Amino acid sequence: MAYGEKVLDHYENPRNVGKMDADDASVGTGMVGAPACGDVMRLQIKIDDNGVIEDAKFKTYGCGSAIASSSLLTEWVKGKTLDEASQIKNSEIAEELALPPVKIHCSVLAEDAIKAAIDDLKSKSDNAVAS
């Protein structure tokens, strides 16, 4: 299968690869997918005191399109508030990377990943308030 230029670029030079401390209260972790399906994405975001995403890291097990989708997402979420980041749609990722129909699920996974990371952050702050 021929890959689009942008997928290749992100695949060859993935942005923001890495891991942050998942126990840090300012870090939200979203892990989505399953090895059985051939895709696992781990997306982590770190917010500053104003609730703005100051850093994002990812690691992805999956095809080139899954790697590119998560790499692109880390670029997009930086500087955004959690509300803004939660507005990112899989269709925007798919469009930006020119994903073919069989690879749309990779962008869906990326959207799931950011939502999961935001939920994780929110549940952390809720717990902090509760205790």
Partner 1 sequence: MKSNMQLPIYLDYSATTPVDPRVAEKMSACLTNEGNFGNAASRSHSFGWQAEEAIETGRAQVAELINADPREIVWTSGATESDNLGIKGAARFYQKNGKHIITSSIEHKAVLDTCRQLERDGYEITYLPPDENGITQPEAVEAAMREDTVLVSIMHANNEIGVVNDVAAIGEITRARKVIFHVDGAQSVGKIPVDVVAMKIDLLSMCAHKMYGPKGIGALYVCRKPRVRIEAQIHGGGHERGMRSGTLPTHQIVGFGEAARVAQEGMAEENARLITLRQRLWDGVSDMEEVYLNGHPEQRLPGALNVSFNFVEGESLIMALKDLAISSGSACTSASLEPSYVLRALGRSDELAHSSLRFSVGRFTTEEDVDHAISQVRAAVEKLRDLSPLWDMYKDGIDLNSVQWAAH
72 binds partner 1 (CB under 8 A): no
In the complex, minimum distance from the CB of residue 104 to partner 1, in angstroms, rounded to a whole number: 10
Query: In this chain, which of 77, 97, 109, 117 binds partner 1, going by CB under 8 A?
Result: 109
| Ranges within 31-50 binding partner 1 (CB under 8 A) | 31-42
Distance CA(32)–CA(51), nearest Å, equals 23
Distance CA(96)–CA(72), nearest Å, equals 9
Size of the site for partner 1 (CB under 8 A): 32
The total of other beta-carbon atoms located within 10 Å of residue 76's CB is: 18
Judged by the rule CB under 8 A, the positions of this chain that interact with partner 1 are 1, 3, 11, 14, 17, 19, 31-42, 59-64, 66-67, 102, 105, 108-109, 112, 116
